[in-house]
Amino acid sequence: MSKSKVALVAALTAVVATASLVVTAVGSAKQHDVFKAAWIYVGPHNDGGWSQAHDEGRLAVVKALGSKVETTYKENVPEGPQVSQVIDSLVKDGNKIIFATSFGYQDAVLAAAKKYPTVDFEMATGYKTATNMADYYGAGEDAIYLSGMAAGAATKSGVVGYVVPFAIPEVIRHTNAFALGVQATHPGATVKIVWTNSWFSPATEKKAAQSLKAAGADVIGQNVDSPSAGQYSESAGLPWVGYDSDAQKFAPKQWLTGAVYNWGVYYIPRVKAAMAGTWKTGSYYGSLSDGFTKLAPFGPLVSSATKAAIATKLAALKAGTFDEFAGPLYDQAGKLRVPAGKKLSLGDLMAIDWLVKGVQGSPKG
Amino acid sequence: MNNSILVVVLASAVTYGTPLLYSALGELVAERSGVLNLGVEGMMLVGAVMGFWAVQTIPGPGPLVLILSVGVAAIAAGLMALIHAFLVITLRANQIVSGLALTIFAGAGGLSSYLGNDLNLADAPAKHAFGAFFPHGMQTLPVLGPIFFEQNALVFVAWVFVAGVAFYLARTRPGLNLKAVGESPAAADAMGINVTRYRYIHTVVGGAFAGIGGATFSLAITPQWVDGLTQGAGWIAIALVIFAFWRPALCLVGAYFFGAFAGLPFTLQARGVTIAPELFQALPYVMTILVLVTVSAAGARRRLGAPGALGTPYVREER
């Protein structure tokens, strides 16, 4: 290295060091007495799907509690060793409640809950709890069932494609609900599934939708997070059922509807409780009734007869007079899994590993 | 017939191979000058985000806006490559370190994410997108319909690029000079070729190609912007250059081959064939490793066409 270059490097180092000092100073000036809450997302905060729905919940907290709370989020956090590091840094930054919003974070969150007993942890879609770690999710399957009804009404060939991420109970439960909804409006229909092995992967989701169309599907549904299968459906002229967020703008003609979540319903009271020191662990399971989950607005292809049929089922689900997982339910091989008069309990649904009759594809991914 | 596995896989090979083809071709041009640029992924992402920004911002008729947007993507990524060129050619920094730094700086979680979020590009479909280039009637033709007529204009432009680069390298004076610079910069210098200028130009042009590769995602394949939407395609493109033995025509074959591999597991799944998806997703990389091992033997490396001076800075005094 020549002399001039040494000087250049030294100058650069000095600039960077000064800049970081300035940044630290600004950061510490902001340290006043506000309550800090943090969210961890598996995709970008504006993914047009799952993570975006969580971020809208975070913004609902900001709106409800204003300057009393300071929220942050970490996005694109993979379900791996990075989760622990992200949690460590969030705790170090003074966050007192942390919402982890993807299933694969669970074990890292449980470990962190042990490590940081004074921080409240919230694990979305999980099933493990601790004194300072709660679980939360909700009956997305009920809204997904209703969205499946729209797909069933739209299919002519009787084959509906469904793009699915990982073979875990949550997704299998949703797939079953979707298929049962399809069959409610199109008896005997099949639902073909393709696993993408990723929650959020736009190009892969498009590939999956393309392959489903080539295999005979004339309606596409999804349990993955990006709207790219919808963009493909729009260009290929296939009706599309979305998921997580109202994504009609990505497929204005072909959008049918989609199950969506309102996480704010849960986030606001939980952050309030944590601020007041009254936070307690638990397992929340939201529903159509408390506004946690609902159906997004319908697109132009949905007929009024279909809308009426969905409205009837929605009322019955809310009233508790209908349960999509009531028997008789058969599995893919035609074996009776749930006899008439019985239904799957929440516990069964949380561990479900078999697909209902009419679904084509492996429940193992 | 158009829904048979073979046709579907070939069609997806062409669609998903195209961004790889642009980026690999760009990397090939840079490497032929002796500059290895591992920043392809970062440059693709900057191209993707800036191309998408342009398509949302520039007013005018769709086709014109799309052409301009591809240009914006190319320029933006070319500027990224210019950073790399300055570091490795003028400052003679380590090419591997600088390239990696470029991907980290420009890629997912870096500049491209900052631009996309700051310009508010997420959660909106592209105002214009590259759709099928040929009329609808031709798309339903057997076999050729899905493989050829359903494709977008960028697919066909890529073929022109392949032919252009091949012709440039084999038949033009600057192309021959470029190869001399990549093989033996000292000899090229003695011949009166400006090594520095050649390396700068071809590194930047290579970056511009990667930008078009990135824009192929945000303007054609998935016409939207999301953080990190290329999902590692840049790395495959780098491997492809080796896979193609630094030859443009083989780049085309390799890119479509990788494209086919990317689509095959889903096509099989939809037909009820389940294979461990991890296995299929790993296959392109297994192939890459095999090719790398094969070409790494020093003798094979030269025979197969690796530029002799690849990865080494040129210092005239140390000749």
With 0-12 CB in 10 A as exposed, 13-18 as middle and 19+ as buried, what is A358? buried
Interchain CB distance below 8 Å, A46 and B117 = yes
pLDDT at res. B301: 65
Element (H, E) at B237: helix B233-243
Measured CA distances, A231 to A152, A242, A357, B15, B226 (Å): 20, 11, 29, 15, 14
Instruction: Name the residue among B227, B231, B271 with its Cβ closest to that of A203.
Output: B231
Assess if residue A15 is contained within a domain: no
B83 backbone dihedrals φ, ψ, rounded to 5°: -60, -50
Is the Cβ–Cβ distance between B125 and B224 less than 8 Å? yes
Q: Which residues of A touch B56 (CB under 8 A)?
A: none
Please give the pLDDT value at position B318: 65
pLDDT digits (tens, 9 = 90+) for B192-249: 999 999 999 999 999 999 999 999 999 999 999 998 899 889 999 998 998 888 999 9
CA distance A95 to A98: 7
Distance (Å, whole) CA A202 – CA A180: 27
Greatest C-alpha distance within chain B: 64
Specify the residue for token string 């993408």: A196
**Could you tell me the two tokens for B266?**
């889903």
**In a shared domain, residues A157 and A221:** yes
Sign of CA dihedral A41, A46, A49, A55: positive
Average pLDDT in chain A: 90
A87: in domain: yes
CA distances from B299 to A99, A208, B308 (A): 56, 43, 11
B91-105 confidence digits (pLDDT tens): 999 999 999 999 999
Query: Count of H helices and E strands in chain B?
Result: 15, 0
CATH code for position A69: 3.40.50.2300
End-to-end CA distance of chain A: 54
Is residue B63 scored above 70 in pLDDT? Answer: yes
Indicate if A95 and A186 belong to the same structural domain: no
CB atoms within 10 A of CB A299: 21
The tokens describing B114, both together, are: 């900052």
Q: Does residue A223 register a pLDDT over 70? A: yes
Same domain? For A90 and A222 the reply is: no
Among residues A192, A139, A154, which one has the least CA distance to residue A360? A192
More confident residue, A9 or B209: B209
pLDDT tens for A95-120 read: 999 999 999 999 999 999 999 999 99
Lowest mean pLDDT among A23-27, A141-145, A316-320, B127-131: A23-27
Which residues of chain B have a Cβ shorter than 8 Å from any chain A Cβ? 2-3, 8, 12, 16, 91, 108-109, 113, 117, 122-125, 131, 217, 221-224, 226-229, 231, 262-263, 266-267, 269-272, 274, 277-278, 281
DSSP labels, B239-297: HHHHHTTT-HHHHHHHHHHHHHHHHHHHHHHHTT----HHHHHHHHHHHHHHHHHHHHS
Q: Which two tokens stand for residue A200?
A: 């959020």
Strand pairing report for A97-100 and A120-124: parallel
Q: What DSSP assignment string belongs to B65-77?
A: HHHHHHHHHHHHH
Are A73 and A197 part of one and the same domain? no
pLDDT computed for residue A31 by the predictor: 47
| Fold annotation for B5-306 | ABC transporter involved in vitamin B12 uptake, BtuC (1.10.3470)
Who among A200, A207, A226 is closest to B266 (CB)? A207
| Selection from A1-5, A13-17, B17-21 with the highest mean pLDDT | B17-21
DSSP secondary structure letter of residue B152:
B
Q: Which residue has the tokens 């379900």?
A: A79
pLDDT in tens, A21-46: 334 333 344 445 799 999 999 989 98
Residue A11 has pLDDT above 90, yes or no: no
Give the nearest chain B residue to A233 (CA atoms). Answer: B222
> pLDDT for A76-91, tens place per residue?
999 988 999 999 999 9
Q: Give the model confidence (pLDDT) of A153-196 as tens digits.
A: 999 999 999 999 999 999 999 999 999 999 999 999 999 999 99
> In which element (H, E) is residue B62 found?
helix B62-85
Residue B181 phi, psi (nearest 5) = -60, -40
- The answer on pLDDT for A138 being more than 50 is yes
Query: What is the number of CB-based contacts under 8 A between chain A and chain B?
Result: 109
> Is the distance from CB of B209 to CB of B161 less than 8 angstroms?
yes
The answer to whether residues A297 and A281 belong to one domain is: no
ipTM, two decimals: 0.89
Q: Under 8 Å CB-to-CB from A9, ≥6 apart: which residues?
A: A1
A181 and A309 inside one domain: yes
Average pLDDT over residues B238-263: 91
Residue A274, amino acid: A
Distant-in-sequence, close-in-space partners of A151: CB < 8 Å, separation ≥ 6:
A160, A178, A181, A182, A219, A221, A239, A241, A256
Is the Cβ–Cβ distance between A82 and A42 less than 8 Å? no
In a shared domain, residues A325 and A218: yes
Same domain, A145 and A121: no
Q: Which of A111-125, A246-260, B46-60, B234-248 has the lowest mean pLDDT?
A: B234-248
Mean pLDDT along residues B39-66: 97
Residues in chain A whose Cβ is within 8 Å of chain B: 5, 43-44, 46-48, 52, 75-76, 161, 192-197, 200-204, 206-208, 210-212, 214-217, 226-228, 231, 235, 249-250, 360-362, 364-365
Instruction: Considering only residues B234 and B276, tell me which one the structure prediction assigns the higher pLDDT.
Output: B234
Residue with tokens 């993570």: A51
Contact between A308 and A101 (Cβ < 8 Å): no
Going B50 to B51 to B52 to B57, the CA torsion angle's sign is positive
Asked if residues B180 and B199 have their Cβ atoms less than 8 Å apart, the reply is no
Structural domain containing residue A93: 29-138+263-286
Choose the weakest-confidence range: A97-106, A292-301, B178-187, B294-303.
Answer: B294-303
Structure-derived torsion over alpha carbons of residues A106, A112, A116, A122, reported in degrees to the nearest 10: -20
In the numeric block, which tokens belong to residue A236?
Answer: 């290929």
Residue A217 domain-assigned? yes
The verdict on A338 and A234 lying in the same domain is yes
When divided into structural domains, chain A yields a total of: 2
Calculate ∠ Cα B94-B100-B104, nearest 5°: 140
Q: How many CA atoms lie within 13 A of A325 on its CB side?
A: 22
Q: Which residue of B has its CA nearest to A230?
A: B222
**Helix runs in chain A, H state only:** 3-29, 50-65, 82-92, 106-115, 140-154, 169-185, 202-214, 228-236, 264-276, 304-319, 346-350
Calpha distance B191→B87 (Å, rounded): 25
* The predicted structure's pLDDT at residue A339: 96
Q: What percent of chain B has pLDDT over 90?
A: 69
Phi, psi for residue A19 in degrees, rounded to 5: -60, -45
Q: What is the pLDDT confidence band of residue B300, given thresholds at 50, 70 and 90?
A: low
The per-residue pLDDT for A289 is 95
A177 and A299 housed in the same domain? yes
Indicate if the pLDDT at residue A16 is higher than 60. no
Range from A17-21, B8-12, B148-152 carrying the lowest mean pLDDT: A17-21
- The answer to whether residues A131 and A273 belong to one domain is yes
Residue A173 and residue A97 share a domain: no
Of B27 and B293, more confident: B27
Residue given tokens 């994504």 in the structure block: A247
Do the Cβ atoms of B10 and B147 come closer than 8 Å?
A: yes
Chain A CB contacts of B266 under 8 Å are 194, 196, 204, 207-208, 210-211
pLDDT digits (tens, 9 = 90+) for A322-335: 999 998 999 999 99
Residue A26 confidence (pLDDT): 39
Pairing of the two strands A159-164 and A190-195: parallel
Cα–Cα distance for residue pair B197/B45, rounded to 1 Å: 26
Q: How far is CA A37 from CA A74, A95, A103, A279, B303, in A?
A: 12, 5, 20, 13, 60
Would you state the structure tokens that stand for residue B276, as one six-digit string?
Answer: 């461990």
The confidence band for B46, taking pLDDT boundaries of 50, 70 and 90, is very high
Task: Give first-to-last CA distance, chain B, whole Å.
Answer: 62
Q: Are A178 and A161 in contact (CB under 8 A)?
A: no
Cis peptide before B135 (omega within 30 of 0): no
What is the sign, positive or negative, of the torsion defined by CA atoms of A22, A28, A34, A40? positive
Mean pLDDT score of chain B: 91
* Distances in whole angstroms, Cα of residue A109 to Cα of each of A132, A279, A351: 10, 17, 20
Strand, coil or helix: B201: helix
**Distance from the Cα of residue B319 to its chain's centroid:** 33
Tell me if A48 and B263 make a contact (CB, 8 A cut-off).
Answer: no
Q: In chain A, what's the furthest Cα-to-Cα distance?
A: 86
- Assess whether pLDDT exceeds 70 at residue A60: yes
Across the range B48-53, mean pLDDT stands at 98
Kind of pairing between the strands at A35-40 and A190-195: unpaired
Tell me what the mean pLDDT of segment B176-203 comes to.
96
